[in-house]
Amino acid sequence: MSESQHLFNQHIDRTRSHSIKWKKYQGKNILPMWVADSDFRVPDVITNALHTHVDHGIFGYGAAPASLTDVLVERMATHYNWHIQPEWIVYLPGLVSALNLAVRACTESHQAVISPTPIYPKFITAAQYAKRSLSLSPITLQNERWVLDLEATKVPAESRLMLFCNPLNPGGTVSTRQELETLHGFAKKHDLIVCSDEIHCDLILNEQARHIPFASLDEDAAQRSITLIAPSKTFNIAGLGAAMAIIPNVELRRRFNRVQAGIVPDMNVLAYTATEAAYREGQPWLTQQLNHLRQQRDRLIQAINAMPGLKLHPIEATYLAWIDASELPVDHPHAFFEAAGLGFSPGADFGQPDFVRMNFACTSDTLTLAIDRMQRAIASMG
């Protein structure tokens, strides 16, 4: 067994770890494959760094270490050819709060927000919580890829902010440079700020694809951008609460910080420690994880596309499968699969009721069991 197979095929009991993923179906014979955290133990470099911090025994107020900022600046340059300045970085306790801050910082009460659909539900609620009007930009299938249809996007007169997701959740598309440049042209035409959720940027499964930050296109793109990143999905540390907003525009950054002040706290000291360890020393582990996820993806695509009534298009990034169940003769695909012992995310939450989203960041044995249950459920329909 290779090292990556050993690392990512260990069964770790999460039922007593306060995991919302596993508590949802506690006591039921249902595999939890919904919320986007993995079942993988984090790399030892993170655990060791946390042990060192815990052994110190003091957990007072903390500020972002300069060494973490240096690592982040270097990582953006090395991995994504994006040369950022340290003062552009705003540290946050999570990406969802960043979405909500972006809506409030970039728009006034009379202005509109544009969001893709289907999309991660927190995009929609961020506008709703702020009582902003919302215009939806459809994601459509083009050449086996889920992409933004800007030609079909309605732009209200008072639009100010475009929410964007790259890699796409759900769908897994990695936007090409041409697609990003088209979006940039759209943003310039309508004078929009683009808040780009790039939390899955490290989880590229298509080895021919490359993540390009929207803000790296040119100076204009940078000045009309808020880029959101985090180590949480990449290294499975979502429960620690760590995210970063990268905002080159000084006035936009001031507004963002002003909205945050007194409401959204800083990252906690353990999150700083884990993030720096992950970004400084976690790449070998990440490389092995990507190998495992590619194997999981390939198995899943082959299996699902052999099942009548289901379709799974290529997944370029993320560990989330966006499964088309529109040809399945059932009214509620999520409920159908749940009854078969499979806890997926309902497509309705993302704006597409005929779909389900499946998290395949699990052991190969868990994926085998999930595929078996899906096959049995489909076969039972006669």
User: Are both 9 and 66 inside the same structural domain?
Assistant: no
User: What per-residue confidence (pLDDT) applies to 34?
Assistant: 98
User: What per-residue confidence (pLDDT) applies to 4?
Assistant: 57
The conformational region for residue 201 under phi > 0 = left, psi -120 to 50 = alpha, else beta, is alpha
Buried b (16+ CB within 10 A) or exposed e, 126-152: bbeebebebbbbbbeeeeebbbbebee
Is residue 54 in some structural domain?
no
User: Are both 113 and 261 inside the same structural domain?
Assistant: yes
Q: Could you tell me where the beta strands, DSSP code E, fall in 166-262?
A: 193-197, 225-229, 243-246
- Tell me the one-letter amino acid at 142: Q
What averages of pLDDT result for each successive group of 10 residues across the chain (382 residues)? 75 91 96 97 98 97 97 98 98 98 98 98 98 98 97 96 98 98 98 98 98 98 98 98 98 98 96 98 98 98 98 98 97 98 98 98 98 97 79
User: Are both 33 and 158 inside the same structural domain?
Assistant: no
The boundaries of the domain holding residue 237 are: 59-281
Q: Distance between CA 377 and CA 374 in Å, rounded? A: 5
User: Are both 122 and 236 inside the same structural domain?
Assistant: yes
User: What per-residue confidence (pLDDT) applies to 5?
Assistant: 67
User: Are both 199 and 310 inside the same structural domain?
Assistant: no
| Cβ–Cβ < 8 Å for 127, 162 | no
CATH of the domain at 319: 3.90.1150.10
Is residue 48 in some structural domain?
no
User: What per-residue confidence (pLDDT) applies to 16?
Assistant: 86
User: Are both 170 and 26 inside the same structural domain?
Assistant: no
User: What per-residue confidence (pLDDT) applies to 2?
Assistant: 60
Looking at 281, 313, 333, the residue that finishes a domain is: 281
Q: Distance between CA 316 and CA 211 in Å, rounded? A: 10
Is residue 52 in some structural domain?
no
How many domains does the chain fold into? 2
Is residue 72 in some structural domain?
yes
